[in-house]
Amino acid sequence: MILIDGKKVAEEIKLELKSEVDVLRTAGKKIPHLAAILVGENPASMAYVNNKVKSCADAGFVSTLIKKEGNISEEELLKVVEELNQNPDIDGFIVQLPLPKHIDELTVTMAIDPAKDVDGFHPVNFGKMAQGLPCFLPATPYGITLLLKYYNIDTVGKNVVVVGRSHIVGTPMSILLSRKGADATVTLTHSRTKNLEEIISQADIVIAAIGIPHFIKADMVKEGAVVIDVGINRVEDDTAIKKYKLVGDVDFENVAPKCSYITPVPGGVGPMTVVSLMKNTYLAALNKNAR
């Protein structure tokens, strides 16, 4: 079993980005600038956004964090989005999800200028992705494809089972892996899927993105399978200082011995999401520099 070290791969990519940013700086060109809007005080979202800001600093990017109260109206939030759309200094920005219930996530996503949508969530980018056109790829699925490439894990003709159909991970992942180049045969499964365990047990590659701690058990997974765990679930742990620990969607301890490759949680997919977002932001800045 080979443990996929997302932290290490992400650090390498961050260093590459840093040297590319140094080149831009030396040439007097625009330094990539990512902005993030954080609404409310969801602890997980705060942690993710802080991570994104810190990673930007590590790679020499400029970043701006815009914090808004959880009771901000949708209208006010749309104004903030529009300001960032118009601000020529911001190359790309994200609105951290989930948003409070009174705000419609799709309305906010649709308000983002697709040229600055470094999360790749706007339907224009999503549609381009589906057609294999140049676009910003959604960060988590993009990061997973980078990990698979780094470890030379072949996807051509492989039987991939994606568990979970979210707009952020499962659905775009299934599209990316079935596109030309990746050429996998993908089954996208969800809460209404029949015979889920049987389908997972036939997978060469399992991508678990359902948000249920330890959902994927050892008896569901084929011997020698590749298992990619996207879950970041907080479960109570009285022995931990923070009183919780992070666990994935995979029962790692029991599944890992059966796998050819597996990602840990934390330190697997999570760090790759952040660097993918940065790669998109770098691309957005390059596009501006080219104009």
Contact residues for ligand GUN, defined by CB under 6 A = 94-97, 119, 139-140, 168, 273
What does the CA dihedral 282, 37, 98, 143 come to, rounded to 10 degrees?
Answer: 10
**How many Cα atoms within 13 Å fall on the side-chain side of residue 144?**
31
* Min separation Cβ 43 and ligand GUN, Å: 13
Nearer to ligand GUN, 63 or 273 (CB): 273
Nearer to ligand GUN, 39 or 184 (CB): 39
Q: Which of 5, 91, 117, 119 is the catalytic position? A: 119
Distance, CA of 126 to CA of 149 (rounded, Å): 22
Q: Which of 5, 14, 91, 96 is the catalytic position? A: 96
What does the CA dihedral 131, 283, 137, 68 come to, rounded to 10 degrees?
Answer: -130
* Min separation Cβ 240 and ligand GUN, Å: 22
Is 131 catalytic? The answer is no
The residue number with the shortest CB distance to ligand GUN is: 97
Q: Report the candidate in 48, 30, 34 with the shortest Cα–Cα distance to residue 234.
A: 48
> Which residues pair with residue 226 across a beta bridge?
205, 261
Is 119 catalytic? The answer is yes
Q: Which of 5, 14, 52, 204 is the catalytic position? A: 52
Nearer to ligand GUN, 32 or 231 (CB): 231
Distance, CA of 165 to CA of 209 (rounded, Å): 8
Contact 40, 101 (CB under 8 A): no
* Min separation Cβ 135 and ligand GUN, Å: 15
Is 22 catalytic? The answer is no
* Min separation Cβ 254 and ligand GUN, Å: 27
With the C-alpha atoms ordered 129, 135, 137, 138, is the resulting torsion angle positive or negative?
negative
Nearer to ligand GUN, 55 or 273 (CB): 273
**Would you please indicate which residues are annotated as catalytic (active-site) residues?**
52, 96, 119
